[in-house]
Amino acid sequence: MNIIDQLEKLGLNGRQAKVYLALLQLGTGTAIDIAKATRFKHPTVYDVLDVLKERALVTETFEGGRKLFSAEDPNRLRLAEDERRRTLEGLLPDLQALYRGGSRRPRVRVYVGPEGMEAVDEELLAVKSGEYFYFGGVREMIQNSSEEHLSDYYRKRLERGIWSNAIRIRGEEDDLDYMQNGEQHLRRVRYLPKPILENSAGLYLYDDRVAVISALKENYAMIIESSELSLLVRTIWNCIWEVAEEPKSSHEHA
C-alpha cells in the first residue's frame, strides 16, 4: 500500500493526497508549481487547496504579490484523528440510544464453516452486559473446536470478567477443570432435566442477539440481532433454568 492509499484511509481523497504530498516536497509553492508537480489543472488545484486549508493541512501567505502555499506539519493528521476519536466517543452514547430505541428490522448473519464459531466467540468476548447465556454440551464444544481453543477462550473470558451461564446436557460433560461450575471460573451451570439423545445445535444469548451453532453435521452458525426474539428466547431460557438441575456437588464437572 503506497502513501496515497494510506492518506485516503485518513480521509483525504486521491487529489487531496497528491496535492498535500506535492507541497510537502516543495516546501512552499504557488498554484502553478503545484499544478506542474501534480499535473492537475489550475482550477482543480485551487479547489483542493481550499479543502486542505479548511482541514488546517495547508497555509496561505503572500509574498511579492504572489500567493504562496505551504504544507503544515503532518502531525496535524494525528491531531485531527485524535479530535475525531474524541468527538466519536462523546457522540456514541447518543447514537447507541437511538439505535436501541429505534424501530428496525432484525439483522441475520449466516456463516458456513469454522468462521461462524469464531464470529460468535469474538462477540461473546465483547458482550456489553458482562454475561451471556447458552444451551449446549461440553463434548460437542470440544468436537467443534479443540481443548486448546476452549482453554484460550476461557482465559480471555476471565481476564474480561465475563460470566457464562449455561444450561447443559449432563450426559455430554467432560473432565475439564476450567469447565466446572463456580465463581472462580465465572461460570453458573445447571442441567436439562431430561437427556437429549441426538446431537443438537448450541444456542447463545447475549446483548440483543441470538446465536445458533450447529457444527457437527450441518456446519453452520447463525447470528440474529433482534431485541424481540432475544427477549422471547431469554424468557424461555429463564423458565428452563428454574427447573434445571443443579450440579450434585462442587466436584461435578460443569
pTM over 0.85: no
Question: Is 120 buried (19+), middle (13-18) or exposed (0-12) by CB count in 10 A?
Answer: buried
Q: How does pLDDT run across 136-168, given as a tens digit for each residue?
A: 877 777 676 777 888 888 899 999 999 999 998
| Residues with Cβ within 8 Å of residue 179, at least 6 apart in sequence | 138, 150, 154, 173, 185, 187, 253, 254
Tens-digit pLDDT profile for residues 95-128: 877 776 666 678 899 998 878 888 899 999 999 9
Domains of the chain listed by start with CATH number: 3-76 (1.10.10.10), 106-243 (3.30.870.10)
The CA-atom distances, in angstroms, between 215 and each of 116, 120, 176, 181, 218 are 9, 12, 21, 25, 6
